[in-house]
Homo-oligomer: A and B are copies of this chain.
Amino acid sequence: MTLKVALLGCGNVGSQVARILLDESEELAARIGVPLELTGIAVRNVDAPREGNLPRELFTTDAEALIDGADVVVELMGGLEPAGTLIQRALRRGASVVTGNKALLAARLPELTGAARDGGAELLYEAAVAGAIPILRPIRESLAGDHITKVLGIVNGTTNFILDAMDTHGSQFDDVLAEAQRLGYAEADPTADVAGHDAAAKAALLASLAFHTTFDLENVHCEGITEISADDVAGAAESGMVIKLLAIAERTTDAEGNEGVNVRVHPTLLSREHPLAAVRGAFNAVFVEAENAGELMFYGQGAGGAPTASAVMGDVVSLARGLSAGAGGGGEAQPRPTRALGIEESTTRYSISLEVTDETGVLAEIAGIFARHGVSIETMRQTVTADENGGHARLRFITHSGREAALASTVAEIEQLPVVETVSSVVRVEGK
């Protein structure tokens, strides 16, 4: 018995996966119990120059024929199409699929998991979230007998690199972004990273697995880090905190008490004591809270050819072991319908920084607005300054936990006060 593996795509990750399948075939056979055979690599142009010195006879442009003879299909082409149609074809024919295609998964998870169920096949995608970090399998299997209540993830290396550098060197966003681009940590067009879109796709996948449902991008509220200033980062540091771009998925209830799950991506203040605060540079980490397990964190490299290839190979070996042990696909229940709650229903804390005219009664006026909205203040820090236009004060409030809608309307009303010159920043706070 030999298990036939078809590879779709041969870029940075694909060529490394092909190399591992070829070079380590003996070791892999020993670990699995049966040998794996790489039957071919589907590409658009068989003659294109590529890395890894791979045998030319493996390459084909006929992806469909390759899929039809395979036990396991590894999709590393990226993009929505033709990847989506090819994965569907494989799953419906009963071939299990490994993919790292987060954009496709976030757009079409319900449809793809449905195809896997119909075909009695498995769809694994450890490489799609947080690169090499084993996070999907622990959520799907190790915590399968527990109830996850919240997931907080640093799932985008580019933005973590930028925020970490701003924290360490006090630099401005634009300068650090330029440096990150020079070092290859950020793309020439950094929008997908800095606007939070990449993190939002991963948030949808994390939420789907953690809460046994299928969410897509439309269920994710998304804010990026482009508005974060050196002042915001310095202000956080003064309070013993750090700003991280977090993907958050949380089981909660709306104002009427209906249960649901809220999924969001936004810059977030965390205490420096929080395990996520120690995640530096381009590293990723996912922090999970579960009813019985308590607090867990998974840390590692979120991107890169070799780490991603490691995650892909973990899925391939896992599938192959199951197939060699005679398991059909499945063993995974139907996803449950779960209400996606909007950002306004989430419960969070706000850090609000204001510039105000320094005159008697200002603080009382602002405190009155907080009180009318039922928002309770945890800490307030005031710094008085003065210039040729008279006295100014900078106020920084951190609230207790409250409903997002109440917090947002508090800020909106404060902004209208004549004594308030500017609301210089509003950042949500997580952790104790």
Contacts and interface: CB of A to CB of B under 8 A. Distances in A.
Interface of A: 16, 20, 24, 28, 30-33, 126, 132-134, 137-138, 141-146, 212, 273, 275, 278, 280, 285, 290-301, 304, 306-307, 309-314, 316-318, 321-322, 324-334, 336
Contacts of A141: 134, 137, 314, 317-318, 321
A329 B333 contact: no
A430 to B, nearest CB: 17
Contact of A327 (B20, B33, B326): B326
Chief secondary structure at chain A's binding surface: mixed
A309 B299 CA distance: 23
Nearest to A24: B145
Contact of A301 (B31, B278, B293, B298): B293
Nearest to A292: B310
30 contacts: A24-B145, A30-B333, A31-B212, A132-B292, A134-B142, A142-B311, A144-B318, A145-B312, A145-B317, A146-B313, A146-B314, A285-B297, A292-B306, A292-B310, A293-B300, A293-B301, A293-B307, A293-B311, A294-B306, A294-B307, A295-B300, A295-B301, A296-B300, A297-B298, A298-B298, A298-B299, A299-B299, A321-B332, A325-B328, A327-B327
A223 to B, nearest CB: 27
A143 to B, nearest CB: 6
Contacts of A291: 306, 310
A47 to B, nearest CB: 28
Given A33-B330, A137-B142, A146-B310, 13 more contacts: A24-B145, A30-B334, A141-B321, A142-B314, A144-B317, A291-B306, A291-B310, A297-B299, A298-B298, A325-B329, A325-B331, A326-B326, A327-B327
B333 A31 contact: yes
A300 B301 contact: no
A143 B316 CA distance: 10
A142 B142 CA distance: 12
A281 to B, nearest CB: 11
Looking at A133, A141, A329, the one whose CB has the most chain B CB atoms below 10 A away is A141
B132 A310 contact: no
Nearest to A329: B325
A20 B325 contact: no
A145 B336 contact: no
A3 to B, nearest CB: 12
Nearest to A17: B145
Contact of A145 (B20, B146, B330, B333): B20
A212 B27 CA distance: 11
Nearest to A143: B314
With most chain B CB atoms within 10 A of its CB, the pick from A295, A300, A313 is A300
B143 A294 contact: no
Given A126-B142, A141-B314, A294-B300, A30 B132 contact: no
Given A33-B332, A309-B292, A299 B275 contact: yes
Nearest to A272: B278
A193 B126 CA distance: 36
